[in-house]
C-alpha cells in the first residue's frame, strides 16, 4: 500500500493511472482467489456432472427423483423465506424506534443490535439452546405464570430454527432500515398527520415506499445467508428441518458421496449468486463500498403520539429485548455450579470457568483460534489493502469484474468454500497443520478488509493529496502525513472484521481441522451437538467478552486515529 502511494506523484501520475501498475497491485488477491477459491470450487462442482467417470446429469435428476432431497430443498427455501419475512417484520419497529428517540437512547438500542451482530452465531445459538430447553428460562416463566402446565417444545423443530436464525440475521435488515428512516424527511409524516391520516395510512403510503429500498436490500442479504446456513439448523432443528448445507455435510462425512454433495452445492451456489445478481441489479455492489460523504438528511423521524405510534414503540422495545436478552441472560448462567445450566443459578461459582482455563483441550483450542486469527488478519490486510489501492487507481473495464470477484467469497455459503478446500487440501495433507483453515479463513475475511479500505479510499479527498504534492511533499511524506491517517479507521475496521471472521468461524473449522488442531468454535460445537458440556456456556461468555473488548479497542483506535489525522493536517 505504501509503495502504491509513493508512486503516485505528479511526475509519475500519468504512468500510474495506466492499467498496468494498478493491475499489478490487484494481482496478489486475484491470484490468491483463483488458486484457493475459484479453482477448488470448480474442482468440487464438476464432480456433480460425472457418474462413474462419465459426464452425466444423473446426479441432478437423482436430487429431483429422490423424495428426501426434494423435501430438503423445499425445507431450505421455506425456512429461508420465513426467516427473511420474520426479519423484515421484526426489524421495522426497532429501526423506527432507533431513528425516533434521543441520541442517548439510540446508543443503547444500537448496543442491543450490534452486540449480537458482532457476537459469534454459535454463541447466540448456545444462548437460545440454554433458554429454550425444557427446563430453560422460557419454559420456567411460562409454567410459573401458569400460562402452560407442561414444557413447550421450542427446540429441535421449526420454531427453534426460526427463532435462532432470525436472531442471528435480523441485524442485516435493521441497519439498512435505520439508514432509510434517518434519510426520511420528517415533515412528510407531520404533514400527513396534520391532514388526518391514521397510522396505517402513514405507514403504507409514506413510510413503506420510502424505506422499501433498505428493506429489500436487507432481505436479499438475509436470504443469501439463510439458504446456506448450517450451524443453527443443525443444533436447533430436528430431522424435519434439515437444510441443503447439512445434507452436503452428511453426503461427505457420512456417505462419502462427493457427486451428490457437489450437485447440492451447485444448487446452493446458483441460488446465492442469483440473489447477489439481484442485489447488484437493484442497488449495485458499489453500495457496499460507498465512502461517507458527509451529506444526506440529518432529520430524525418524529415519534407519533397516536396509538399506532405507541404500539410501534412497544414492539420496538420487545424486539430490542429479543436481540439482547439471550446474550445477557447467558452470562449469569455461566456462573452456575450445577451440571446443567439454569437461570437463575441455584448457586453461583466459577466452576465452569475454572474448567475452561484448566482443561488442556479448551486452552489449546483457544490458543489455536487466536493464532490462526492473527495470521488470517495479517494475510487478509495485505491482500485487501493492495487490491483496494489497485482498484482505486484502476481505469479499465475490467474493474467491475475484479471487484465482483473480490466480493463474491463473502456471499458464497461457507459450507461450499469449506468443502471445496477440503476436496483440494485433504490429499495434500494440509488439514493436519491448519494451512487449509488459514487459507479458508483468508478467503472469507479478505472481502471485508477490501470493502472497508475501498470505502476509506472513496471517502479520501484527492485534493489533499494534490495539495501535499504542490507544497513539495515526497510520495512517502504524502502517504505518512495525509493518506495514512485517513485510512487508519478503515484499516482498523478491516482488521477487526478479519480477526472476528476467523475467530468465530465454525463451518470451515469442522471440515479443515482435526482433533489435534481444532479451534475453540469447533470444540464448542462438539460440546453442543454430541454431549452438552456446561463449559460451552462459559466459553461463550469468554467470546462475548473478547468481542466487546475488540469493539472497545477499535473505538479507541479510531478516536486516536482521528486525533492523529487532525494533528497531521
Domain ranges for the chain: 1-55+352-569, 57-284
Asked if 93 and 319 count as a contact pair (C-beta separation under 8 A), the reply is yes
Helix (H) and strand (E) counts in the chain: 29, 2
Helix (H) or strand (E) holding 69: helix 67-100
Of the ranges 169-173, 475-479, 550-554, which is most confident? 169-173
> Do 57-284 and 1-55+352-569 fall under one CATH topology?
yes
- Ranges 355-364, 397-406, 456-465, 472-481: which has the least confidence: 472-481
Cα(353)–Cα(541) distance, integer angstroms: 9
Quick: pLDDT tens for 477-532: 777 777 777 777 778 888 888 898 898 888 999 999 988 889 999 998 888 877 67
Locus of grid cell 405510534: 309
Written as one string, the DSSP assignment of 204-234 is IIIIHHHHHHHHHHHHHHHHHHHHT--HHHH
Mean pLDDT of 527-549: 80
In terms of DSSP bridges, do strands 50-51 and 54-55 run parallel, antiparallel, or are they unpaired? antiparallel
Secondary structure letter of residue 483 according to DSSP: I
Quote the pLDDT of residue 420: 94
Cα dist from 163 to 97, 125, 333, 362, 495, whole Å: 22, 10, 20, 29, 31
Quote the pLDDT of residue 13: 43
Q: What is the dihedral of CA 421, 161, 498, 111, to 10 degrees?
A: 180
Helix (H) or strand (E) holding 54: strand 54-55
Mean pLDDT of 135-163: 87
Mean pLDDT of 451-473: 79
Quote the pLDDT of residue 198: 75
Please count the residues of the chain.
569
User: With 60 as the cut, is the pLDDT of residue 546 above it?
Assistant: yes
Cα(546)–Cα(469) distance, integer angstroms: 42
User: With 70 as the cut, is the pLDDT of residue 5 above it?
Assistant: no
User: With 80 as the cut, is the pLDDT of residue 22 above it?
Assistant: no
Quote the pLDDT of residue 76: 93
Largest CA distance in the chain: 81
User: With 90 as the cut, is the pLDDT of residue 162 above it?
Assistant: yes
Mean pLDDT for the chain overall: 82
Which residues have a Cβ under 8 Å from the Cβ of 172 and sit 6 or more positions away? Answer: 87, 218, 221, 222, 225
The CATH class, in words, for 57-284 is mainly alpha
Cα(38)–Cα(404) distance, integer angstroms: 13
Quick: pLDDT tens for 242-281: 899 999 998 988 888 899 999 999 999 999 989 888 888 8
Helix (H) or strand (E) holding 42: helix 39-45
Quick: pLDDT tens for 64-81: 888 989 999 999 999 999
The CATH number of 1-55+352-569, from 1.10.3720.10, 3.40.50.12280, 3.30.70.100, 3.90.1010.10, is 1.10.3720.10
Quote the pLDDT of residue 36: 94
Confidence of residue 367 (pLDDT cuts 50, 70, 90): very high
Confidence of residue 3 (pLDDT cuts 50, 70, 90): very low
Quote the pLDDT of residue 560: 62
Alpha helices in 306-411 (DSSP H): 307-333, 351-358, 360-393, 398-407
- Ranges 47-51, 113-117, 241-245: which has the least confidence: 113-117
Count CB atoms within 10 A of the CB of residue 197.
17
Report which of 428, 402, 341 is spatially closest to residue 133, judged by C-alpha positions: 341
User: With 60 as the cut, is the pLDDT of residue 293 above it?
Assistant: no
Helix (H) or strand (E) holding 50: strand 50-51
First and final C-alpha spacing in the chain: 20
Q: What is the dihedral of CA 191, 193, 195, 197, to 10 degrees?
A: 130
Quote the pLDDT of residue 127: 82
Amino acid at each position: 500500500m505504501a509503495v502504491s502511494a509513493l508512486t503516485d506523484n505528479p511526475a509519475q501520475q500519468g504512468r500510474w493511472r495506466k492499467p498496468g501498475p494498478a493491475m499489478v497491485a490487484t494481482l496478489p488477491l486475484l491470484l490468491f482467489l483463483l488458486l484457493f477459491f475459484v479453482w477448488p470450487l470448480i474442482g468440487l462442482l464438476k464432480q456433480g456432472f460425472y457418474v462413474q467417470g462419465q459426464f452425466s446429469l444423473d446426479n441432478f435428476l437423482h436430487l429431483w427423483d429422490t423424495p428426501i432431497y426434494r423435501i430438503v430443498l423445499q425445507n431450505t427455501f421455506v425456512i429461508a423465506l420465513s426467516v427473511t419475512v420474520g426479519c423484515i417484520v421484526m426489524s421495522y419497529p426497532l429501526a423506527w424506534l432507533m431513528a425516533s428517540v434521543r441520541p442517548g437512547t439510540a446508543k443503547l438500542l444500537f448496543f442491543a443490535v450490534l452486540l449480537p451482530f458482532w457476537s459469534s452465531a454459535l454463541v447466540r445459538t448456545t444462548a437460545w439452546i440454554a433458554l429454550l430447553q425444557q427446563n430453560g428460562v422460557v419454559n420456567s416463566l411460562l409454567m410459573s405464570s401458569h400460562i402452560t402446565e407442561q414444557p413447550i417444545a421450542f427446540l429441535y423443530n421449526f420454531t427453534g430454527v426460526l427463532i435462532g436464525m432470525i436472531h442471528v440475521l435480523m441485524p442485516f435488515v435493521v441497519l439498512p432500515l435505520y439508514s432509510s428512516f434517518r434519510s426520511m424527511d420528517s415533515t412528510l409524516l407531520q404533514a400527513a398527520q396534520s391532514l388526518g391520516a391514521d397510522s396505517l395510512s402513514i405507514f403504507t403510503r409514506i413510510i413503506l415506499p420510502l424505506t422499501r429500498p433498505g428493506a429489500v436490500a436487507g432481505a436479499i442479504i438475509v436470504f443469501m445467508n439463510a439458504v446456506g446456513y448450517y450451524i443453527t439448523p443443525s443444533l436447533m432443528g430436528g430431522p424435519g428441518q434439515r437444510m441443503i448445507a447439512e445434507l452436503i455435510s452428511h453426503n461427505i462425512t457420512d456417505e462419502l458421496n462427493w457427486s451428490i454433495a457437489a450437485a447440492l452445492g451447485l444448487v446452493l451456489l446458483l441460488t446465492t449468486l442469483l440473489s447477489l445478481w439481484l442485489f447488484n441489479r437493484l442497488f449495485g455492489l458499489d453500495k457496499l463500498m460507498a465512502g461517507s460523504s458527509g451529506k444526506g438528511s440529518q432529520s430524525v423521524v418524529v415519534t407519533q403520539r397516536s396509538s399506532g405510534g405507541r404500539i410501534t414503540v412497544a414492539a420496538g422495545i420487545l424486539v430490542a429485548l429479543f436481540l439482547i436478552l439471550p446474550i445477557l441472560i447467558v452470562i449469569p448462567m455461566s456462573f452456575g455450579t450445577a451440571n446443567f445450566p439454569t437461570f437463575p443459578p441455584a448457586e453461583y461459582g466459577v466452576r465452569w470457568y475454572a474448567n475452561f482455563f484448566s482443561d488442556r483441550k479448551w486452552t489449546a483450542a483457544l490458543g489455536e483460534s487466536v493464532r490462526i486469527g492473527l495470521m488470517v488478519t495479517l494475510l487478509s490486510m495485505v491482500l485487501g489493502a493492495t487490491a483496494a489501492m489497485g482498484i482505486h487507481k484502476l481505469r479499465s473495464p475490467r474493474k467491475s469484474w475484479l471487484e465482483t470477484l473480490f466480493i463474491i467469497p463473502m456471499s458464497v455459503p461457507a459450507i461450499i468454500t469449506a468443502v471445496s478446500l477440503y476436496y483440494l487440501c485433504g490429499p495434500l495433507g494440509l488439514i493436519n497443520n491448519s494451512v487449509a483453515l488459514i487459507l479458508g479463513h483468508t478467503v472469507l475475511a479478505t472481502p471485508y478488509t477490501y470493502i472497508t479500505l475501498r470505502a476509506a479510499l472513496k471517502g479520501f479527498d484527492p485534493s489533499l493529496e494534490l495539495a501535499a504534492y504542490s507544497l513539495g511533499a515526497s510520495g512517502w511524506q504524502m502517504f505518512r502525513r495525509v493518506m495514512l491517517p485517513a485510512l487508519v479507521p478503515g484499516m482498523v475496521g478491516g482488521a477487526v472484521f478479519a480477526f472476528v471472521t476467523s475467530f468465530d468461524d465454525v463451518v470451515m473449522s469442522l471440515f479443515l481441522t482435526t482433533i489435534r488442531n481444532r479451534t475453540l468454535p469447533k470444540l464448542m460445537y462438539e460440546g453442543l451437538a454430541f454431549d452438552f458440556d456446561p463449559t460451552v456456556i462459559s466459553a461463550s461468555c469468554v467470546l462475548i467478552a473478547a468481542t466487546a473488548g475488540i469493539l472497545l479497542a477499535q473505538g479507541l483506535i479510531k478516536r486516536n486515529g482521528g486525533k492523529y489525522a487532525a494533528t497531521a493536517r
